[in-house]
Amino acid sequence: MGNCGSQSDRSVKDDDSYGRGGGDSTHGDPNHHPDFGLKSTHELVKFLGRGGTGDTWLFKDIKTEELVAMKLIKRPIPKVIMPNILREIRIQAELGEGHINVINAKEVILTHSHLALSLEYAACGSLTSYVADRWQHAQQTGLFLGEDQARYFFRQFIGAVEYCHQHCVAHRDLKLDNTLLDSSNPPVIKLCDFGFAKTWTADANMYTHIGTPVYMSPELINSRNGVRGYDGKSVDVWASGVLLIVMLLGTFPFDHTEHPDPNTSEAHLEVWLQQVRSRWSEIPHIRQAVEKLSKDCMDLLNRIFVIDEKKRITVAEIKQHPWYLRELSPKYRDAEDSLRRQQAATDEHMVKRKLNQVELKKRNAELQQMVEQAAVRPPAGNSLRETPLFRIDLREDRVLDTSGEAAQTAESPRPLLSQLSLIEVPVSQQNLTAAQNVQLYWIRAFNLILEHSGESCTPKAHSGVLAVLAQPRHRMSSVGTITPPDGERPEKRVNDRGTDYSYVDEALLDSNEKRYRVAFSDETDSAQLLTDVKGWVEKRKRRAKAAHANYTWFDWATCVLPMLGWLRTYKVKQNLVSDLIAGLSVAAMVVPQGMSYAKLAGLPSVYGLYGAFVPVIVYSALGSSRHLAVGPVAVTSLLLGSGLKDTINVPVQADPNNPADPQAQEVYNHAAIQVAFLAGLLYTAVGILNLGWITNFLSHSVITGFMSGAAVIIGLSQCKLIFGYNTRPKPGYVAPNPCPKKGCPKVPTISFPRHDPIQEQLHDLFGETWTPYFKWREFVMGMSWIILLLTMKTVGKRYHKLRWMRPLGPLTVTILSISIMNIFKLYRPTSNPKIRPVGHIPSGLPGATVSWFFPMQDFGKKFGLAIIVCLIDLLESISIAKAMAIKHNYKLNPTQELRALGVANLAGSFFNCYTTTGSFSRTAVTSESGGKTQLAGFTTGFSLMIVLLWVTPVFTYMPNNAQGAIIISAVIGLFNYTEWFYLWKVNKFDWIVMNAALFGVMFAGIEKGLAIAIGLSVLLVLYKVAFPHTARLGRLPNTSVYRNVKQYDEAKEIPGLLLLRIDAPLYFANVLPIRDTLDKYERIALQRGPVYYIIVDLSPVSDIDASALHMLTEWVGTCKNRGIQPVFANPARQVVRLMGVGGVPELLGGFDKDTKTSRYICVRTHDAVALCLEERAQKEKHFDDEKEVPFVAAV
C-alpha cells in the first residue's frame, strides 16, 4: 500500500496514533467486537488504539464504503472531562478540512452507549513506526531519514502547525505518535490528536503544565499552573525541532533515561536541566550524531532550541530559513507540487463554505447539547441499540438523520436537536418564568424523545408538561421576532408596488443579536481634544515610568553607551573567533572598495580608508545592529560627486589623487567634510526627535528606481578608467609630483567629465573627442578584473562551501593588479604610461578637520545636499539593519540606530571622513562570515587603522582600471531589473514612479531625477486621496457581510436600499468628488427602482474636517427633501465627535436626547439594513397581499 511498508499489513493494536496511552478503556479486550450502536450505519473492521478518554476503532461507512477512524467515548462522560472533550471536538470542527496535513473530522455521533468522533483514517500509522523502520538506512548513512526526506516531511508538518496557529489553536502535544501517514508514495503526513490543544483570543499565553516530557520546551516544563504562563506557539515550535531531530537522528535531544515513567516530576526535571544547562548539540548521546547534519540544518535547530521563548524562531521565520527553502529532489518536489495543488483546491472549497457567525453559534450550540447529553446515563432498553440517536456532519455543518441524510421533513425516523422548537405550551404561567421556560422545555423535550422512541415523532404529553413536536417550526428569538424556516420561505415576495422582498428574511437571520447605537457626547470638541491630549500625556508618562521603573545604574549607562550591554553578556568561546573572521573579511573588502568610492565622490582615495575607520568604531559602540557594516557606499559617493560641484566656485579636478590644481581640490575636500558635518547633525536630530517616519515619503518604487538609475550612472562613469581615457594630458601642463619618495610616478592631469547624465557620458565615451585615446592594455586588464570579480561573487553566492570567495574578490583583484604592475613595471613615469596607477596615498591616521566647518559658503546648497544624502542613507541603513535583525532573530532599536549613525557621521567629519552609511554587500559578508556581535565592526575599524599606519604605500601602484572594475562589479547588484517586471504586474502607478526615478536619474541627473520621482509619487498619493474609491455594496447570501458588488458576483443589492462605502478620510480636497459620486450612484439606483434609504458605510473614514462636515450636512438635507432617508454605519470616534458638533444626528432624525443616540447612525452596516427593512415593512404593511407579516412578526 504505497510506501507504508509493513505498516499496511501488521496489526495496529499497539499503535497510539489516535490516543495518548493509558486511561479508561472502552472494553477490556480489544479483540472483542462489541455493539456500539452503529450497526445500521457503520461496519466494524478492527481495533486501532487506546487513548486517555476512549478507544479508537476502524469502521467502514456502509453507505460510502469509506474507512474512518472512530474515537469512542463511553457514556456517561464524567463531567470533569466533558469541557475537554467539547473543546477537542470544537477545535476539530473549526480546523475542518482546511488543510491537507491536518486530520479531518467528519462527524460527531451520539449512540445509546457512546459519543463517537469520526476522523479521517491514515492507513500507514504513525511517523514513529516509519522512522523506526529506517534503522538499516541509519546504519549506512548515520541518519534515519535523509535531510531531503526529512525536509519533505518537515515542510508539511510546519504547514499544518502554521494553519493551526492561524486559527488561534496551539497543539501543545506535537510528537511523532501524533503525526500520521497516509498510503501515498511518498507518504503525506496528517497531524492528529487535539486532546491537549487549546485556543487563544487576545494572546497565546497559557498556563497548563501538559505534554510529553521529551517534546516539552523549558518554559512549559518550568511553568506553574495558573502562575507562570507560556506562549503556545513557541511551545509548538520547540516540539517541531524535537520532531526534526528524531526524524534525522532517531533519538531525542533531551531525554530522561533514568526515569521510565514520563509522568513523574523527575522526568520533567531531568529534561529541563538538560535544556537549560547545555546546548542540545553538546549532550553526550547526540554529540557525534550531529556531525552528519549540514550547517544550515544545525543553524535552524540552534535557532529553534533557544531557551528564551521570546528570542526563539517563529513558524514564519522557519519558512524563510535557507534549510527549509532548499530545493527538494525530483521525487519529493513532484509530490510537494501535487500537495500544493490539492491545498489550493481545498482553500477554494473552504472559502465557499465558510460559516458566518450565526451558523457558527448554531453549530457550537448543537455540539454542546450533544456532549451534555452524552454526560447523561442512557436509558435502559434495547430499542435504540442499533441506530445512532443524533449525528452532526462537521464537513457540511448540518444535522443528519439516523441514516446519514440531511434532515428535511417531519417524517424523519428520529427527532433531531436542530428540529426541536417550542410551540403552544399548555402550562400555567404561574409555574414558569420566561427565563426558566426555554431551558426547562429543552431538557424535558430531549428526555421525552429519548424515552418515547415509538413510531410517532410526537411524544405523548405528560400531564402538566409541554407538548413538543419534532418538526421544523418558526424560530423564536430573544427580541421577540419570528423568522420562518427555509422550507416555508417563498421564493419571491412582491407587494402592490412591485417591490421584491425576497431578501427580507435572510437579512434578519441574526436579528436576535443585540443592536447597539452610537452615542454622542455633550462635551465640546475643544474640551474633548483637551481630554485626549491630557490622556495621551498621562499615558506616555505611565509608559515611561513603567519602562524605567527597575533600571539600575548599569541600565542607564547602557542607554548612553549600548556596547556595555552586549559586552556584559559576551560569550568569548562561542563568538570571538566568528567576530574576528567576519571583521577581517569586511576589512579585506572595504579597503579597495573604500578607495574606489572615495575617488567616485571626487575625493582622494585615502578618504575612503578614513571613512572605514573612525565612523565604523563609533557606530559599533553605539549601534544596536550586530551585523550592519558601516562605511563608504557607492550611492552616497555618487550623490556627493554630483552635488558638490554646484556648491563650490572652483573647477572640479578629474583626478583627486593627482589634482591639476591642489588648492581647488582642497576647497572641494572642505565642502565634502562640511556636508558630512551637516548630515551628521541631521542624522542625530532625526534620532533624538524620533523623526524616522519622514523616510516614508521615499516609497519602495522611488528607491528602487533611484538605485537602478544610480547604478547605471556609476557604472558608466567608471568606463573611462576601463577604456584608458584617463591618460589624456592637458596641453602644455604636467602635474607636480606630490610623492615625496624617489621613484613615484609623475602623472599628468585630465579633464574628462564626471557624473554627467547618460546621454552626455555616452557621447564622451564613444565620441570622436576621446576614442583616439582608447588603450587596449587598460581595457583588457579592466575587463579581466570585472570577469574575475563577478565570477567570485557568483560562485560565493551559489555554493555555500565557497562563500569565502565573495568578500575576497576586491582584495584578490587589488593584490593581483599591484603584483602585475610591479612585475612588469607598467607604472613607469612617462608622459603616456602603459597603465595609469592610483598614485601616492598618504599614510598615517586622519587629522582633525574641525577648522574646516566654518566659514561655510553656499550653506543652502550644502544643506539641501545633506538632506538628500541623509534621507537616502537613513533608508538604506535602516532597511538593511531590519533585515539582519529578522534573519538572526534579535531586537533592533531603530531610534538608537539613527542616533548611532548620526554620531558616527558627526565624529567622522571631525577626522577627514565624508558621509558613511550601511553597505548592502559588506553587511551580507558580515552575516555570512558568522559575525555575532558588534565586535566584528571593531575588528574592521582597527584593521583599517593598521592599514593606514603601515600598508598605504602598497596601494601607490594599484591601477585605476582595478578601482573602476571594483566599483562596476559592486553596483551591478544595485540594478534591480526583476522589480521592473514585478511592479508592472502588481501596480502600474508604482511602475510609473519607478520609471520616473530610473530615467530621471539617468537622463536628468541625480538630484533632478530624485526630485522628479518624489514629486510624482506625492502627486499620485494626492490624486488617490482627492479622488477616493467609493464602492456600491451588496450582501453575501446567508451572511451579515456586505461587499463590493463589482468584486463579488455573489453580493446582491437589496431593493429600495442603496449601500455605499467611502474608502478614504474626508477632507477639503475630496469632498466635491465624493459628493458627485454619491449623486451619481443615487441616479443609477433610481433608474432601477425607488430608493427609500441610502446607507453609507463610514468604517474606512478615519477623520473628517470642517469642509467634509458641511458637505455631509448639505447632502443629508438634500436627501431628506427628496424623500430619501440617509443612514450612516460604523463611524470612527473622531467622525462621531464632529458629527455631533455639526448637528448631523438631529438633522438625520430619530435622535434621542436622553440617551444621546440617533436611530439612523448604526454600529454595523447589517444593523442599518435591518433597521431600514423593519421600518419600511411597518410603513408598507397595508400594501402586502399576504395575511402574514412579510418581514418580522411580533410574538
Helix (H, G, I), strand (E, B) or coil at 427: coil
User: Which is the catalytic residue, given 16, 55, 173, 401?
Assistant: 173
Does residue 71 have a known ligand-binding role?
Answer: yes
Helix (H, G, I), strand (E, B) or coil at 415: coil
Distance of CA 1097 to the CA centre of its chain: 28
* Pick from 519, 1122, 1176: nearest CA to 1114: 1122
Tracing cell 548630515 back to the chain, one arrives at: 679
* Pick from 960, 955, 1004: nearest CA to 777: 960
Q: How far apart are CA 30 and CA 12, in angstroms?
A: 11
Same topology, domains 18-121+355-419 and 128-350? Answer is no
- Do 729 and 748 contact (CB within 8 A), yes or no? yes
Q: How far apart are CA 944 and CA 149, in angstroms?
A: 47
Q: What is the mean pLDDT of each run of 10 residues along the chain (1195 residues)?
A: 41 36 40 67 84 83 87 85 85 83 87 86 84 70 78 91 89 87 86 85 67 81 62 89 87 63 57 62 69 85 86 90 88 85 78 67 82 77 58 63 44 35 34 37 41 36 31 29 34 38 41 58 53 71 68 76 86 90 90 90 93 95 92 90 85 82 91 94 87 74 86 86 64 40 42 65 76 83 93 87 83 91 75 75 90 88 91 84 83 86 93 92 86 93 94 88 88 86 88 90 84 84 87 90 91 92 91 93 92 93 91 93 92 87 86 81 91 85 43 29
* Pick from 433, 411, 426, 486: nearest CA to 462: 426
The CA-to-CA distance between both ends of the chain, in Å, stands at 61
DSSP string computed for 710-736 = HHHHHHHHTHHHHHTGGGPPPTT----
The dihedral formed by the CA atoms of 648, 649, 652 and 656, expressed in degrees to the nearest 10: -60
Sign of CA dihedral 845, 847, 853, 855: negative
Distance of CA 213 to the CA centre of its chain: 31
Is the CATH number 3.30.200.20 carried by domain 18-121+355-419?
yes
The DSSP H or E segment spanning 836 is none
DSSP string computed for 384-399 = TTTS-SEEEETTTTEE
pLDDT for the residue 11: 31
Let me know how long the chain is.
Answer: 1195
Rg (alpha carbons) of the chain, rounded to whole number: 38
- Do 907 and 622 contact (CB within 8 A), yes or no? no
Is the CATH number 3.50.30.60 carried by domain 1027-1194?
no
Angle CA 672–646–870, to nearest 5: 50
pLDDT for the residue 516: 62
Q: Which residues contact 51 (CB under 8 A, 6 or more apart)?
A: 16, 18, 19, 20, 21, 23, 71, 193, 195
Q: Which residues contact 556 (CB under 8 A, 6 or more apart)?
A: none
All 3 cell numbers of residue 951? 600598508
Distances in whole angstroms, Cα of residue 771 to Cα of each of 311, 655, 723, 1151 = 60, 19, 9, 85
Q: Where are the domains of the chain?
A: 18-121+355-419, 128-350, 439-470, 572-986, 1027-1194
The dihedral formed by the CA atoms of 1186, 1187, 1189 and 1191, expressed in degrees to the nearest 10: -10
Tracing cell 526627535 back to the chain, one arrives at: 689
Q: Please give the DSSP secondary-structure letter assigned to residue 1091.
A: -
How, if at all, do strands 481-483 and 1193-1194 pair?
Answer: antiparallel
Q: How far apart are CA 354 and CA 1040, in angstroms?
A: 13
- The CATH number for 128-350, chosen from 1.25.60.10, 3.30.1120.80, 3.40.50.300, 1.10.510.10, is 1.10.510.10
Q: How far apart are CA 267 and CA 245, in angstroms?
A: 20
Q: How far apart are CA 634 and CA 636, in angstroms?
A: 6
Q: How far apart are CA 1189 and CA 1191, in angstroms?
A: 6
Tell me whether residue 1076 is one of the annotated catalytic residues: no
- Do 813 and 917 contact (CB within 8 A), yes or no? no
